[in-house]
Amino acid sequence: MSSVAPTRNVLAILTDARPARYWPNTGLTPAAAPFMPNPMNGKDISPEPGLYVTATPIGNLADITYRAVAILKAADLILCEDTRQTAKLCAAYGIDTKRMPYHDHNASRVRPGILKNLAEGAVICLVSDAGTPLISDPGYKLVRDARDAGIRVFPVPGASAAIAALSAAGAPSDQFHFAGFLPPKQGARKKLLDALAGIDATLIFYESASRLSPALAAMAESFGERRGVVARELTKMHEEFREDTLSNLAQVYAEKPPKGEIVIVVFPPEAMAAGPEDIDAFLTDALTRMSVKEAATEAAQRLGISRKEAYSRALELKDGK
């Protein structure tokens, strides 16, 4: 990667930082679509050299900040998870900054050149395909190396699918745990979910449409009958929030597989109404009629405890402890 020239002044390009005349998924006609005004009131905000971790829309192209558009235009280079995806955003806002792919497959090879340019005074933006970079994407190693090298790293905040889903799901938001994508293999997925079952907070997951129903069923097995929300196609025309128990949601999407990008929000465990004596009584009775595994599953669903906890206690009761 060659050295870069000094950056352009952000103020000089704000006045032409206008989106496309048609804003997808808003229902606006070209004639009615708004233009972006100059919000800086004549202030010069030429970006300092450094790495700008820049959030982009998660669906609706209107969901981008004035500052993000201005810095993307002023930057020397935009690092993209997929240049084709970022090209759509750039076309909508008239951004002609050079783009370069940065992803898991080429990161180790191109990162030294990126760090060299940053050290020489470049302004470089890091974006993901949608939302805030480093949330389930490979950018954290670049940020870590840049900070270790004394290069300034600037957040340019904006949309995040996880936070958008949480904000409208109706689940407690004072404490939450973002778990990202679940492992694709059943054993690894179960191990992770069992470990998360004891967290007394709202859980947030990303999942692909094709794996949604199995993931929800696995959550029901590990978490018991907690409530969950499936948030689909956020900020897009077919946005959907569906709330139910995890097992019911699994059945719904097994019968009608969804399309689009998925966020799963799982409510925290409720204060357990059943005490240890109630759990033991339930499991003791269940073990007279079914296997340990079946008794544990039944207890998890009926008493709102994790399957792991129920299975462990059922084994102890079966062994006379």
The single residue listed with the structure tokens 């599953």 is 297
Residue where a domain terminates, one of 159, 193, 213: 159
Q: Which residues contact 67 (CB under 8 A, 6 or more apart)?
A: 45, 156
Q: What is the 3-state secondary structure (H, E, C) of 165-209?
A: HHHHHCCCCCCEEEEEECCCCHHHHHHHHHHHCCCCCEEEEEECH
Residue 5 lies in a domain: no
Question: pTM of the entire structure?
Answer: 0.74
Q: Confirm whether 190 is domain-assigned.
A: yes
Residues 19 and 121 in one domain: yes
Could you tell me if residue 1 is inside a domain?
Answer: no
On whether both 73 and 214 belong to a single domain, the answer is no
Within 10 A of 35 (CB to CB), how many other CB atoms are there? Answer: 8
**What's the rounded mean pLDDT across residues 75-95?**
95
SS3 130: coil
**One domain, residues 305 and 293:** yes
Print the domain residue range for 311.
Answer: 276-318
Mention every residue, 6+ apart, whose C-beta is less than 8 A from residue 153: 50, 51, 53, 143, 146, 147
Show the CA angle centred on residue 153, arms to residues 149 and 154, nearest 5°.
Answer: 170
At 271 the pLDDT is: 55
Question: Mean pLDDT lowest for which of 24-38, 51-65, 157-171, 174-188?
Answer: 24-38
The answer to whether 213 and 253 have CB atoms below 8 angstroms apart is yes
Q: Given pLDDT bands bounded at 50, 70 and 90, which one contains residue 225?
A: confident
* Most confident range, picked from 198-202, 250-254, 314-318: 250-254
Strand (E) or helix (H) holding 213: helix 212-223
Q: Classify residue 312: in a domain, yes or no.
A: yes
- Pair (167, 153) in one structural domain: no
Q: Which of 269, 244, 270, 268 lies closest to 175, judged by CA?
A: 268
CATH number at residue 116: 3.40.1010.10
Which one of 138, 159, 180 terminates a domain?
Answer: 159
Same-domain check for residues 212 and 129:
no
List pLDDT tens digits, range 207-224.
999 999 999 999 999 998
Helix or strand (DSSP H, E) at 86: helix 83-93
Neighbouring CB atoms inside 10 A of 78's CB total: 26
Residue 41 predicted with pLDDT over 60: no
Report, in angstroms and rounded to the nearest whole number, the Rg of the chain calculated over CA atoms. 24
User: Band of the pLDDT at 12, cuts 50, 70, 90?
Assistant: very low
Quick check: 123 and 98 in contact, CB under 8 A?
A: no
Report the CATH number that the domain containing residue 197 is assigned in CATH. Answer: 3.30.950.10
Residue 38 pLDDT exceeds 60: no
* Strands 202-207, 176-181: pairing kind: parallel
Q: State the Cα angle at 57 between 69 and 169, rounded to 5°.
A: 140
Number of domains present in the structure of the chain? 3
